[in-house]
Structure 1
Amino acid sequence: MLRRGLAVLTLSLLATLPAAALQCSGTGGGVTFSFGFNVGEFSEQERAEFDLMILKRMGVDATRVERWGDCLRAFVRKPGGGEEMQFFNPDTYERVY
């Protein structure tokens, strides 16, 4: 009985998930960065600053960036004022919709 209830609960939860969930990891076209050596580990703040710099160089008017699961979550200025969240692939810096 318990096993059957869990199965029904699991199936109902899976059915409610959005069909177009964000897929930020994986390969694709775009810019990738690869280095043959490690000098040390980046802190979370240093990584965010680096990601922000890359996005700005690509023309994205972001105010801040953070790693969010497998994605980069950027807060981007809208032309008419205000900000919106946009998501990017952390490997290619391509926008994810």
Structure 2
Amino acid sequence: MIVKPLMPALLVLAMFSVPAMATPFCTDDRGGVSITFGVGGPRSSSEFDQNQLDLMQLRRMGVDATSVERWNGCLRAFVRNPGGGETMEYYDPNTFRQVF
């Protein structure tokens, strides 16, 4: 059948014809040691504490974030829109500058 040999070529053509979504990447180069004791739930308390500190820092800088988490080396923040709803934004964890 003629269709089978064309499938790989069509797949490659489809991959390059669809624009790729840009994924931010940050380098969190702050070294350090983290020691956690106790029983944790889905997240460790040190991770929760770090997220809260990052949230407070972004708010101090005027970002109306509702939550923040470390993701792909960046801070992923959910930020309120003036007209309602939220937008996901990314920030560098060292400088707290927005990453586009």
Which interval holds the TM-score relative to the shorter structure?
A: 0.5 to 0.7
Cα separation, 2, equivalents of 1:19 and 1:82: 22
Query: What SS is found at the alignment partner of 1:25?
Result: coil
2:24 aligned with 1:22: yes
Query: Alignment partner for residue 63 of structure 1, among 60, 66, 90?
Result: 66
**How does 1:15-94 map onto structure 2 within 5 Å?**
18=20, 20-25=22-27, 43-94=46-97
Task: Give the count of matched residue pairs.
Answer: 78
Q: What runs of 5+ residues in structure 1 fail to find an aligned partner?
A: 1-7, 28-33
Output the aligned Cα RMSD: 2.9
**TM-score normalised according to structure 1 size:** 0.63
1:6-21 aligned within 5 A: 18=20, 20-21=22-23
**TM-score, with normalisation over the residues of structure 2?**
0.62
Distance in 2 (CA, whole Å) between partners of 1:96 and 1:23 is: 8
> One-letter code of the match for 2:27?
S
Deviation of 1:23 (Å): 2.6
Unmatched runs of 5 consecutive residues or more in structure 2: 1-7, 37-44
User: Identity of aligned pairs, percent?
Assistant: 46
Runs ≥4 residues deviating over 4 A = none
Local SS of the residue matching 1:55: helix
Shift of 1:26: 6.8
User: 1:45 deviation in Å?
Assistant: 0.4
Q: Whose relative contact order is higher, 1 or 2, with alpha carbons under 8 Å and at least 6 apart?
A: 1
**SS of 1:79 mapped into structure 2:** coil
